[in-house]
C-alpha cells in the first residue's frame, strides 16, 4: 500500500517525455477548433485531455513563426525541460515527429517528410495575465496584484541566475494558476547567456513596459513590473 504522503501517480507521469503525435492528436480531438485556448506568433495552444482526465496544454508550433520552428522547439525543450520553480510553467512533454506526405513543390507533387513540433505544458485554468488584467472588467485586488508582481520577479531572478534570458516577457506570456500564482511561459526566444552571444533585436517585438526588467536584471526589476499594473 502506498504511503499517505506519496503523490498520486497520473497517466502523464508514467509516459516518456517524447510523446507520440497520434497520442496528442487523440488528446486534442484531432486539434479541434473547440479545443483552442490560445493563439500567438509561435503557434496555437489546444486543451488536451489524458486518459485519466488530467488536462494539459498542447502548443502546436507554427511554420511562419518569428523564429524557425525547429529553433523555437529546441529553445523551449533545452531551456526549461529541467527547470523546477513555482513561477516557471512546467514543460511536461514534447513531440517532434515526421510523416510522409504528398506536397506541391515548384509545380510538382512530391513525397516529403513533413515534421510537426509540439510542446506540452501543465494546464493553467486562469489563463494569461493579459486576459485577467486588461480584457474585460478586472476587479483584481491590490494584494493579489502585488503577489503576482513578486512571483514574476522571483521567476526572473531564478532564470537570470542560470542565466537564462527570456527575451519576450509580456502579460500574454505570464500564466496564472487557480490560486493566481504567476508562471512565466513561452520560452521560444529565450537565450542561455554565454552559450550564444546573439540577441536578434530586429526580430523581436518587445513590450516596452517590461523590456528593461528582462534584459537588464538589476534592482529596478520590481519597479518595472509595478508599471504594467
- Residue-wise pLDDT for 141-156, tens only, equals 999 999 999 999 999 9
CATH dotted code for 129-228: 1.10.510.10
- Lowest mean pLDDT of 3-7, 208-212, 216-220, name the range: 208-212
Q: Would you say the CATH fold of 129-228 matches that of 11-122?
A: no
Q: Say how far apart CA 169 and CA 180 lie, in whole Å.
A: 18
Give the confidence band of 13 by pLDDT, cuts at 50, 70, 90.
Answer: low
Q: Specify the pTM.
A: 0.74
**Is the pLDDT assigned to residue 212 strictly greater than 50?**
no
Torsion of CA 147, 152, 157, 160, to 10 degrees: 180
Q: Say how far apart CA 185 and CA 142 lie, in whole Å.
A: 23
Residue 121 is classified by DSSP as: E
Cα 218 from chain centroid (whole Å): 25
Give the confidence band of 56 by pLDDT, cuts at 50, 70, 90.
Answer: very high
As annotated, the active-site residues are 168
Rounded average pLDDT over 50-79: 84
- Residue-wise pLDDT for 67-82, tens only, equals 777 888 887 888 788 7
- Lowest mean pLDDT of 20-24, 118-122, 137-141, 199-203, name the range: 199-203
- Delimit the domains of the chain by residue range: 11-122, 129-228
Q: Say how far apart CA 99 and CA 3 lie, in whole Å.
A: 44
11-122: CATH class = alpha beta
Amino acid at each position: 500500500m502506498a504511503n499517505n504522503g506519496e503523490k498520486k501517480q497520473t497517466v502523464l507521469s508514467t509516459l516518456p517525455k517524447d510523446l507520440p503525435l497520434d497520442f496528442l492528436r487523440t488528446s486534442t480531438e484531432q486539434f479541434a477548433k473547440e479545443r483552442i485556448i490560445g493563439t500567438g506568433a509561435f503557434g496555437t495552444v489546444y486543451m488536451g485531455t489524458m486518459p485519466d482526465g488530467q488536462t494539459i496544454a498542447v502548443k502546436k508550433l507554427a511554420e511562419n513563426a518569428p523564429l524557425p520552428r525547429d529553433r523555437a522547439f529546441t529553445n523551449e525543450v533545452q531551456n526549461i525541460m529541467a527547470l523546477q520553480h513555482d513561477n516557471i510553467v512546467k514543460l511536461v512533454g514534447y513531440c517532434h515527429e515526421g510523416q510522409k506526405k504528398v506536397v506541391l513543390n515548384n509545380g510538382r507533387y512530391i513525397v516529403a517528410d513533413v515534421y510537426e513540433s509540439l510542446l506540452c505544458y501543465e494546464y493553467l485554468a486562469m489563463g494569461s495575465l493579459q486576459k485577467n488584467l486588461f480584457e474585460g472588467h478586472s476587479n483584481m485586488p491590490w494584494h493579489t496584484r502585488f503577489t503576482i508582481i513578486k512571483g514574476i520577479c522571483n521567476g526572473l531572478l531564478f532564470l537570470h541566475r542560470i542565466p537564462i534570458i527570456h527575451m519576450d516577457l509580456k502579460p500574454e506570456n505570464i500564466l496564472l494558476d487557480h490560486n493566481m500564482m504567476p508562471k512565466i511561459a513561452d520560452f521560444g526566444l529565450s537565450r542561455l547567456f554565454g552559450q550564444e552571444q546573439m540577441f536578434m533585436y530586429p526580430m523581436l517585438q518587445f513590450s516596452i513596459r517590461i523590456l528593461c526588467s528582462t534584459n537588464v536584471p538589476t534592482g529596478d526589476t520590481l519597479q518595472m513590473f509595478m508599471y504594467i499594473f
